[in-house]
Amino acid sequence: GAATWLARGLKVEEGQLSLAKDIRTLGSHSTDIQRLTVARRADRLNTDISAFLSEALIRLGEGYADELLSDESADESEAGGEGIREALGGQRPDLTKLPLPSALGRKKMEQLDRLDLVKLELELREGQANDALHDVRLVLIEKAVLFRNDIRHATSHAKKTRAWDKVHVVNLTLARHAAIYRKCRQAMVHLGADDDRLKIYQPLSKEDLKATTSVLDPNSRGLCYEGLAWFWSLDVPCDAASNDWMSECEPYIF
């Protein structure tokens, strides 16, 4: 049904964001294996996009493409270096605009008499925002654990290098989750989300994404939110039991 189609679109969008970030991260120093991996992901993404666009014709009819809103968060620069561009064969599926209701805007959806899709996407976006914020919090806790255990206790240059390599990987993961949340909130605005909803799902700044070991402070049992970013006090559904590394700090944050 329509909900399944929209949910598929949101997953495709997440794939686009992830691919775009990886292309930018690899830069001009990518290996053959990295370029091949990116090319294969791009092929799969192209297939998913084609399937989504085919169903869009059924859901929205023809002529919607010219109505797509500009994406303030899109980066259409020639990132990735010549090797990556060669591997992709000039294709950038991560830059394809998806005809989601949020990309068409509430006014256009009203003209199409498909406000039902607007309501559906808003509901899905709220769940997506919760998932993204939950992931952001988990990654920030993981980063805080790394600083407390690995960085602080590294006694040699080799150990410090390994510890900072771990932090780099965590930072990339954090950037992906943050990008998904920002895209999600932008979509909520385009869908006409009310002020109450947008007060809950606030803009996410770089300052908000700074890790702090205060979340691991055993003296603030139950977690004191003072001085922490707004999303720490948000009631986001989570499942800490599925994260092994969380067991160490679970008594301090839940």
d(CA 58, CA 51): 12
Q: Give the C-alpha distances (Å, rounded to integers) separating 111 from 46, 104, 105, 114, 169.
A: 29, 11, 10, 8, 45
Domain ranges of the chain: 2-99, 123-253
Residue-wise pLDDT tens digits, 66-97: 667 666 555 545 455 566 777 787 788 999 99
Q: Is 46 exposed, middle or buried (0-12, 13-18, 19+ CB in 10 A)?
A: middle
Cβ 56 vs Cβ 64: under 8 Å: yes
Cβ 252 vs Cβ 217: under 8 Å: yes
Q: Is the pLDDT of residue 249 over 90?
A: no
Q: Is the pLDDT of residue 250 over 50?
A: no
Residue-wise pLDDT tens digits, 112-126: 899 999 999 999 999
Count of CB atoms situated within 10 Å of the CB of 213: 16
pLDDT of residue 51: 96
pLDDT of residue 246: 39
